[in-house]
């Protein structure tokens, strides 16, 4: 079967819904998406339907639903209400609710064996949870409470678990990256990526930051994506920036700029491409992991907050402001 042809990427289905879809997870080997929304609800969309629609299924959060993960037949959601909630997809009921953090939970990630969940929060911690029992395994620290010099409250926007599950990485608003050993909780590495520093020269806050990250399939590299430091005011417009680091040495090996502020990233398991999607003012970009170049870009059409890719790499979904989109990459 011929491989997907990036030149033929297109939107095949669109679902509209007022407000913002902030997070998404796809059920394996299906076209069903679960989506966290700014209205505190969790929606479901089956894109296998001829005319898919968003259905509100779960209500229990009291703020943005910022992260989702699937553990077999259980959906785990994280919110700005500081909670983690386990939902039984079959019985459509709450399994457990955990007051997980002291501040807003920004991201949730699940390891490849679906045994561990990681969360990051503006309480400046990363926490590891037993995916089945909901037990807190470890609390990872290493970030300052406030951004040095400027005294603003610090934040963690990005989180990733390595494909082998051995390492967890996160980055803060001061553009510092910390990598921990999941098993021991020991800090394995730390480096800075100052191109993303979220404060402009004049002291204003800016939208510059590391928004998202992904490990390479071999786990040796870490790709960061977001918005480059630029300008004096808090502006959303680009330039977007992707940098790849050897996380053990902190050495930067790759840099690619493009329009927009990249909010989500996916590194293809065979390193065929890296897909980044913008929050604003830019296109979706397929990047060549081997060397800095844009393989293909396509208008994102919506401010995008999250994306999900299918097993074959020939379809993916972007979700964001007012819409959820299915994209196809025909051969």
Partner 1 sequence: MNKQLPSTCGAPEHSLNRRAFLGGVGGLAGGVAGLDALGNPLLANQLEKRHKRVILLWMAGGLSQFESWDPKPGRRTGGPFRAIQTSVPGYRMSELMPMMASRVHKSAVIRSFSSPNTGHTGASVFALMSGDRQDTGTLRTPSLGCLLGRELSQPGLPDHVSFWNATWPFSGGDKQLDFALFLGARYEAINIAGKLAPDGIQLPASLTDGDHRAREALREQLAARFQENRSGNATVASHGGSYQRVRGIMDIASLFDISREPLRIRERYGHSLFGQQALVARRLVEAGVPFVRLTDGWWDSHGENFEIHASKVPTLDRVMSALLEDLEQRGLLQDTLVVTFAEMGRTPQINAQRGRDHWGACWSVTLTGCGIKPGVIHGSTNADGTAVATDRVTAAQFFATIFQAVGIDHQKEYISADGRPIRLTPYNTEPVRAVLA
Q: Does 34 interact with partner 1 (rule: CB under 8 A)?
A: no
The pair of structure tokens assigned to 171 is: 């980055």
Q: Does 151 interact with partner 1 (rule: CB under 8 A)?
A: yes
Q: Measured over all CA atoms, what is the biggest interatomic distance in the chain, rounded to whole angstroms?
A: 56
| Alpha-carbon gap, residue 284 to 278, rounded angstroms | 6
Taking the complex as a whole, the smallest distance from the CB of residue 84 to partner 1 amounts, in Å, to: 17
The pair of structure tokens assigned to 313 is: 């790499």
187 vs 232, which CB is nearer to partner 1? 232
How many residues bind partner 1 (CB under 8 A)? The answer is 35
Mark the segment that binds partner 1 (CB under 8 A) among 45-53, 228-236, 242-250, 264-272. 228-236
Q: How many CB atoms lie within 10 A of CB 175?
A: 22
Radius of gyration of the chain from Cα atoms? 18
Q: Does 233 interact with partner 1 (rule: CB under 8 A)?
A: yes
Q: Does 144 interact with partner 1 (rule: CB under 8 A)?
A: no
Identify the DSSP state of 50: S
Query: Of 56, 95, 205, 230, which one interacts with partner 1 (CB under 8 A)?
Result: 205
Mark the segment that binds partner 1 (CB under 8 A) among 3-11, 69-77, 149-157, 180-188. 149-157
201 vs 249, which CB is nearer to partner 1? 201
One DSSP character per residue, 258-322 reads: ESS-EEEEEE-TTSS-EEEEESSSSEEEEE-SSSS-EEEEEE--S-EEEEEE-TTSSEEEEEEEE
Mark the segment that binds partner 1 (CB under 8 A) among 144-152, 160-168, 177-185, 238-246. 144-152
- CB contact at 8 A, 65 and 36: yes
Query: Of 45, 58, 75, 122, which one interacts with partner 1 (CB under 8 A)?
Result: 122
Identify the DSSP state of 6: G
- CB contact at 8 A, 43 and 32: no
Q: Does 185 interact with partner 1 (rule: CB under 8 A)?
A: no
Q: Does 236 interact with partner 1 (rule: CB under 8 A)?
A: yes
Query: Of 3, 28, 153, 269, which one interacts with partner 1 (CB under 8 A)?
Result: 153
**Backbone torsions φ then ψ of 291, nearest 5 degrees:** -155, 150
Query: Of 7, 62, 72, 130, which one interacts with partner 1 (CB under 8 A)?
Result: 62
| Alpha-carbon gap, residue 253 to 37, rounded angstroms | 36
Taking the complex as a whole, the smallest distance from the CB of residue 241 to partner 1 amounts, in Å, to: 17
- What is the footprint of partner 1 within residues 245-304 (CB under 8 A)? 279-280, 302-303
| Alpha-carbon gap, residue 311 to 298, rounded angstroms | 21
| Alpha-carbon gap, residue 228 to 243, rounded angstroms | 10
How buried is residue 203: exposed, middle or buried, by Cβ count under 10 Å (0-12/13-18/19+)? exposed
Mark the segment that binds partner 1 (CB under 8 A) among 23-31, 185-193, 233-241, 283-291. 233-241
Q: Does 177 interact with partner 1 (rule: CB under 8 A)?
A: no
Bond from prior residue into 128 cis (ω within 30 degrees of 0): no
Query: Of 87, 104, 196, 273, which one interacts with partner 1 (CB under 8 A)?
Result: 104
Query: Of 60, 63, 185, 292, which one interacts with partner 1 (CB under 8 A)?
Result: 63
120 vs 329, which CB is nearer to partner 1? 120
| Alpha-carbon gap, residue 139 to 218, rounded angstroms | 26
Taking the complex as a whole, the smallest distance from the CB of residue 261 to partner 1 amounts, in Å, to: 9
Residues that bind partner 1 (CB under 8 A): 19-20, 38-39, 62-64, 80-81, 104, 122, 146, 149-153, 155, 173, 202-205, 207, 232-236, 279-280, 302-303, 321-322
């Amino acid at each position: 079967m011929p491989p997907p042809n990036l030149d033929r990427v297109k939107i095949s289905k669109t679902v509209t819904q007022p407000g913002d879809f902030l997070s998404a997870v796809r059920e394996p080997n299906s076209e069903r998406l679960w989506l966290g929304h700014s209205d505190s609800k969790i929606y479901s969309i089956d894109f296998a339907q001829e005319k898919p629609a968003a259905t509100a299924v779960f209500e229990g959060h009291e703020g943005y639903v910022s992260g989702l993960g699937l553990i077999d037949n259980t959906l785990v959601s994280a919110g700005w209400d500081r909670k983690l909630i386990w939902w039984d997809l079959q019985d459509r009921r709450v399994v457990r609710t955990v007051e997980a953090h002291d501040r807003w939970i920004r991201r949730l990630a699940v390891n490849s064996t679906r045994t561990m969940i990681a969360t990051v929060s503006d309480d400046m911690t990363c926490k590891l949870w037993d995916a089945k029992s909901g037990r807190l395994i470890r609390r990872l620290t290493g970030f300052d409470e406030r951004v040095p010099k400027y005294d603003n409250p610090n934040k963690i926007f990005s989180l990733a678990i390595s494909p082998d599950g051995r390492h967890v990485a996160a980055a803060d608003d001061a553009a510092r990256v910390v990598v921990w050993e999941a098993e021991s909780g020991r800090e394995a590495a730390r480096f800075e990526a100052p191109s993303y520093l979220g404060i402009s020269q004049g002291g204003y806050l800016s939208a510059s930051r590391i928004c998202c990250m992904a490990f390479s399939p071999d786990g040796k590299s870490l790709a960061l994506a977001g918005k480059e430091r630029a300008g004096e005011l808090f502006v959303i417009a680009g330039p977007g920036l992707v940098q790849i680091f050897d996380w053990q040495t902190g050495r930067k090996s790759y840099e690619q700029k493009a329009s927009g502020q990249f909010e989500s990233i996916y590194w293809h398991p065979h390193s065929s491409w890296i897909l980044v999607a913008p929050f604003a003012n830019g296109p979706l970009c397929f990047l060549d992991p081997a060397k800095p170049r844009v393989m293909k870009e396509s208008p994102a059409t919506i401010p995008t907050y999250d994306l999900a890719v299918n097993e074959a790499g020939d379809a993916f979904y972007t979700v964001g402001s007012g819409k959820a989109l299915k994209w196809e990459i025909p051969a």
